[in-house]
Structure 1
Amino acid sequence: MIIWINGGFGAGKTTLAEELHRRLPDAVVYNPEDVGIMLWKWMRPNDDFQDLPSWRELVVATALSLRRHHAETLIVPMSLIRDAYRAEILGGLAHAGEEVLQVFLEADAGVLRERVDARVGIPANPGANQSAREWALSRVDAAVAAATRQPAGTLLLRSDRLTPAELADEVLAAAGLSQAHGDGKRMR
């Protein structure tokens, strides 16, 4: 199974992925951002590597290869806010026969902004940190709006109301890997 953790910057995707990995130590955590960074080594960076068709294609191919050769469970923390990109990537995985649990972490815009502002960056490069922070903040409203456009079957969880442990309980229950408890879950 592939557990794809979607949501805005600051929603808690990485924290949830870490908690799931702690509970599923044989799973592989795959961050597609690394594919974008790799592509930018070979070509001029643009505003968003998700706009590169090569990125979307390689994200699917890498996930399939990791699942086939290295992991029964793949945990993928990656924002896919644009509907077309989400459909292309997650649809490509499903078309290849992968079982994909789509999780979308919702949070109020103010909470997302506070979390992004609180991030500790690279001390040696404050200029890059500020640029990355501004870029993430500019996408908060789009991420909040994206929660209302998730496809049927998406597990929507409020990361501003549940702890990382409670979120993991909900995800594992939805994946059929554990008994869940707590509230804040709804399936779309």
Structure 2
Amino acid sequence: MIVWVNGAFGSGKTTLVEEVRGRLPEALVFDPEEVGFLLRQVVPEPSGDFQDLPLWRRQVVSLATGLVAEYGRPVLVPMTLVRPAYLAEVFGGLAAAGVPARHFFLRVPEEVLTARIDGRSFTPDDPARDEKVRAWCRSRIAECRAAEAEMPPETVFLDGGCTPALLADLLLAHLAL
């Protein structure tokens, strides 16, 4: 089973996945961003967002299904994925491969997202790059928040303002694990 934790940048996806992983030690964590970082070294991104590369979306589906097939364990995926066509492609690919997927979305107010992003350091040794990454994340807040209304009907929405422990309780209750 794939457990996809979605939400805006700064919503707490990785923190929640880490909390869930502590309770499900058999679970694997797959961060599709790593696929994007690899592709970024090989091919140019037409838009500056590796999600716009069809190869990224196909590889995410391939790796996720491969992890489930090879290891037979839950796979936790912390990844912002808000464009409806990309969501349909990725989740459609998982369904076509027969891989069950549960989709969670963390809702967080804009001002909280901004504060969390501003409080993060992505590349501490390169302050200029660090600010560029923060600016890119902030620039995506409106798109991510607007996408909440276009999430698939089976999406489970969680209040990203809750503690990671409470969010993990809620997520695991929805999974009946």
Q: Secondary structure at the match of 1:112?
A: helix
Post-superposition offset of 1:153: 1.3
Higher RCO (CA 8 Å, separation ≥ 6 residues)? 2
Post-superposition offset of 1:71: 4.1
Q: Secondary structure at the match of 2:17?
A: helix
Deviation track 1:143-181 (CA, whole Å, cap 9, x = no partner) reads 111112111111100102x1111111111111110xxxx
Give the whole-Å Cα distance in 2 for the aligned partners of 1:71 and 1:17: 18
> Do residues 30 (structure 1) and 33 (structure 2) align?
no
Deviation track 1:72-114 (CA, whole Å, cap 9, x = no partner) reads 1000000001111011001110121111110000111111111
Post-superposition offset of 1:59: 0.3
Match runs of 1:3-42 below 5 Å: 3-42=3-42
Report if aligned partners of 1:26, 1:71 keep a CA contact under 8 Å in 2: no
Give the whole-Å Cα distance in 1 for the aligned partners of 2:103 and 2:89: 14
Report if aligned partners of 1:30, 1:76 keep a CA contact under 8 Å in 2: yes
Give the whole-Å Cα distance in 2 for the aligned partners of 1:75 and 1:123: 27
Q: How many residues align?
A: 176
Q: Cα 1:33–1:17, aligned 2, differ >3 Å: closer, same or farther?
A: same
Task: Name the one with the larger helix percent.
Answer: 2
Give the whole-Å Cα distance in 2 for the aligned partners of 1:95 and 1:156: 24
Q: Secondary structure at the match of 1:40?
A: helix
Report if aligned partners of 2:114, 2:138 keep a CA contact under 8 Å in 1: yes
Structure 2 stretches lacking a partner, 5+ long = none
Match runs of 1:96-107 below 5 Å: 96-107=97-108
Q: Counterpart of 1:72?
A: 73
Give the whole-Å Cα distance in 2 for the aligned partners of 1:70 and 1:119: 33
Q: Counterpart of 2:166?
A: 166
Percent identical: 44
Q: Counterpart of 2:94?
A: 93
Q: Cα 1:4–1:75, aligned 2, differ >3 Å: closer, same or farther?
A: same
Q: Secondary structure at the match of 1:76?
A: strand
TM-score, length of structure 1 as denominator length: 0.91
Post-superposition offset of 1:120: 2.1
> CA-atom RMSD, angstroms?
1.0
Post-superposition offset of 1:121: 2.9
Q: Counterpart of 2:55?
A: 54
TM-score, length of structure 2 as denominator length: 0.96
Structure 1 stretches lacking a partner, 5+ long = 178-188
